[in-house]
Chain A
Amino acid sequence: MSTNNSSQAHPRGALVYYVRDVVKTRESEGVAFRLKVPSLQIAMGEKIALVGESGCGKSTLLDILAFILKPSSVGAFRFRPERDGDPLDMDAYWKAGRLNQLGDLRKRYLGYVMQTGGLLPYLTVRENMDLCRNVLGLAQDGTIEHLAEQLGIAKHLNKLPEALSTGERQRVAIGRALAHRPSIVIADEPTASLDPYAAQKIMAHFMELVEELNITVILASHAWRHIKELGLRRLHHRTFRSEDRNLTETIVSG
C-alpha cells in the first residue's frame, strides 16, 4: 500500500515542525485507528502534500499539526514559527492544558482551510475573510479586496455566505486562511467538494498566492493527479489493517 514519489532530499534549513514518535489512537465501538509519526520535519516555506485514501488519517495528522487535536503520546513535538525564534515544545503546552496559548499560536501563525464550510453564517464574505485579521487587530489595508480579486470573489464581498455557491465559499475560506499573512497554512482537502475543473483552478490560485507570500503549506488530498502539477513534496505513508480488521494503523514520515 505504500506509495512513493520520486524521492527527494529533505530541504533542510529552519524547521517549522519537528515531530518524533507522535502517536494518536482513536477508538470507537471496538474499532481502533492509530496514526504513528516516527519522524516528520517540515522546513519553513515548504509545500507539503499528504495524499491518501479516505479514512487513512489525513485529517487526524493535520489537526495535530494545527494544535486542535491532542496527540496520545509524544516523543518530541516542536514548533518554530519564527525563523530566529526558539522552538516551542507543543507537548508541554498540551500536558499543561494551556489551550488558550495554543489558540494564540493558531491565531498568529496558522491559517486553516476546512474541507467544507467553516464560514460564519452571520458575517458577510468580507467580514469572514477579515475575521483573523480582525481578532489580531490588523487594520484594513486593502488586503481583503486584493485577495478577493485574485480569488475571483470580489463581487461577492458584501453577501452573506448562504448566497454563495459551494466553490465560492471554498474560495472565501481560502481567502480567510491567507488574509492575516500566517506563516503556515493547513488545508484539509480544500477542493474535495468541487468539480475537478474548478478544483484545479482554485488550487492554482491558492498555490500562486502562497508562493507569493512565501507561506509554508500542508495540504491533504485524496487525489494525487492534479496535486502533482503543483510541485508539492509528498509525505510517505503506509496503512496496515489487522487481520480481524479492528485496527487500522497508518505510519507517516517525511
Chain B
Amino acid sequence: MGVPLRKVFALASRDYVHEWQMSVCFVLALAAVLGPMLVLFGLKFGIVGAMIDQLIEDPGNREIRPVSSGRYDRSWLESVRRRPDVSFLVPRTRSIAATIELSSEDSSRHVRVELIPSDQGDPMLSPRGDRPEGVTRIVLSRSAAEKLQVAAGDTLDGSLARQYRGQKERVHLPLTVAAVAPARAFARDGAFVSVNLLEALEDFRDGRAVPRMGWSGDRENSIRTYPSFRLYARSIYDVAALRDAFANLGVDVHTHAAEIELVQRMNRNLTAIYWIIAVIGLFGFSLSLGASLWANVDRKRKELSVLRLVGFRTMDIAWFPMVQALYTAILGWALAVGLYLLVAGVINQMMASQLGQGQQVCQLLPHHYGIALALTCAAAVIAAGLAGLRSAHIEPSASLRDL
C-alpha cells in the first residue's frame, strides 16, 4: 500500500522545478563534463574514421605482392584464390616480357607500356568500366591513353620484337581500348590485359610458337609456372592474416599491413585513452552528483520527514533523489549534445577546406548519443542510490523539528 509511483514522481518533479537554481547548477555541471567528452570522442571517431575510410577506399592497400619471384603453378594459385579472404588473384608473367609498344592513328608517338595482368573483378579498375578480354581488348592507364590520344573504343597497334635464332623478329597485333583506367589504378604508362595475352607475349619472347596468334617458334610442352601474382585481400583487415599465411608457405610478401596496423593500433590506443578520460570524467561527475544529492538529503531532511510522517514508505522516499538525478542526467545530456553539435559544426566548418566532400573531422553516430545517455543515467542512478539509501533512513521524529 505504498504511494503510487506517479505521485512520488510528481512530487519529486515539483521539488526539482521549485529549486530550479540548484537544478540548473547540476545540469550545467553535468554538461560541462559531458559536452567536452562528446567533442573529444567525436574528434577521435571522425579522424580515425577518415583514416580508415582512406585505407578502405584505396584498393591498393589490400594488395599483397611477393617480394621475390618464385615458381607458382596454376593449381597452387587456384588453391590460394579459393581462400575466403582473397578477393582477387591473377598470375603475373615475367616482367621483362610484360611490355609492349603501342601506337595509334591519332598520335605519331610510340609508347612503351607495362602490361598488368587483369581479369574480371580487378579491384583497381572501376567496377562499371569494361574489362580486358581475350587477346585484343585492353584497358589503358590514364597516362598512356593521354599520350596515345585515344579513348574507349579506339583501336591501337601493338608491336613487339624478339631475337630468335640470331634474327630480330617483330610482330604486330591489333588491340582495342576497352576502357581507360582511373588515374590512381596505375601511375605510369601501362595497360591492363588478360592473362592469355600476357602468356602469348611471353611465349613469343621466349621463342615458343603461339599458334593462336599465328606466331611460329619452338614447340615445348613444359608446364607453365609464373614468377609472381597480383593478389588483393577481401578487406584491409584480412591483410595481416594473409601475410602470415604466406609466410608459413615460405612466400615472402610485401603488404600494406604495417600501415593498416598502425591505423588500427592508433584507433585502439585513442579509444583506450578516450575511455580512461571518459571513465574518470563520469566517475567524477557521479561522485559530485552523489555528494550533492547526499547533501541534499540533509538539506531536505525536514521535508522528507514530513513525507514520512504522512505515510510515505522507505522506497517511496528513496525514489526522490533517483527521480531528480535522472532529470539532471537527461537535461545535462541534452545540453551536452547541444554543445557538442555546436562545437562539431564549428570544427567541421574550419576543416572543410582540407577535407573531401562529405568528410567530417568531428562526427558521432546516433547510437553514440544513446550510449552517452545510458552511461550518464547509470552514473546518476548509482549516485542517487546512495543518497536514496540515506534518505530512506530518515527518522521522522528526529528530523521534524530541526529547523
- Enumerate chain A interface residues (CB-CB to B < 8 A): 59, 63, 66, 68-69, 99-100, 103-108, 112, 114-123, 131-132, 134-135, 137
Contacts and interface: CB of A to CB of B under 8 A. Distances in A.
A100 B397 contact: no
A135 B17 contact: no
Contacts of A132: 310-311
B18 A115 contact: no
A70 to B, nearest CB: 9
Closest 10 CB pairs of A and B: A107-B311, A122-B18, A69-B397, A68-B396, A63-B397, A68-B397, A100-B313, A103-B311, A122-B14, A122-B15
A103 B19 CA distance: 27
B308 interface: yes
Contacts of A131: 310
21 contacts: A59-B401, A68-B397, A68-B400, A99-B314, A100-B314, A103-B308, A103-B313, A105-B311, A106-B310, A106-B311, A114-B400, A114-B401, A118-B306, A118-B309, A118-B400, A120-B11, A120-B303, A122-B15, A132-B311, A135-B312, A137-B4
Contacts of B396: 68
Contacts of A69: 397
Contacts of B310: 106-107, 131-132, 135
Given A63-B397, A115-B401, A135-B311, 9 more contacts: A68-B308, A100-B2, A100-B314, A103-B311, A107-B310, A117-B302, A118-B302, A120-B15, A132-B310
Nearest to B4: A137
A121 B22 CA distance: 15
Interface in B350-403: 395-397, 400-401, 403
A104 B311 CA distance: 5
A148 B396 CA distance: 27
A134 B3 CA distance: 9
Secondary structure at the B interface, as helix, strand, loop or mixed, is helix
B397 A103 contact: no
Contacts, number: 65
Given A68-B396, A117-B403, A120-B303, A106 B309 contact: yes
Nearest to A121: B18
Contact of B312 (A103, A105, A119, A121): A103
B249 interface: no
A105 B2 CA distance: 12
B165 interface: no
Nearest to B8: A135
B1 interface: yes
Interface string B304-334: 0011111111100000000000000000000
B306 A122 contact: no
Contacts of B224: none
Nearest to B317: A103
A99 B18 CA distance: 29
B7 to A, nearest CB: 6
A5 to B, nearest CB: 28
B17 A122 contact: yes
A105 B312 CA distance: 11
A174 to B, nearest CB: 14
A131 B14 CA distance: 13
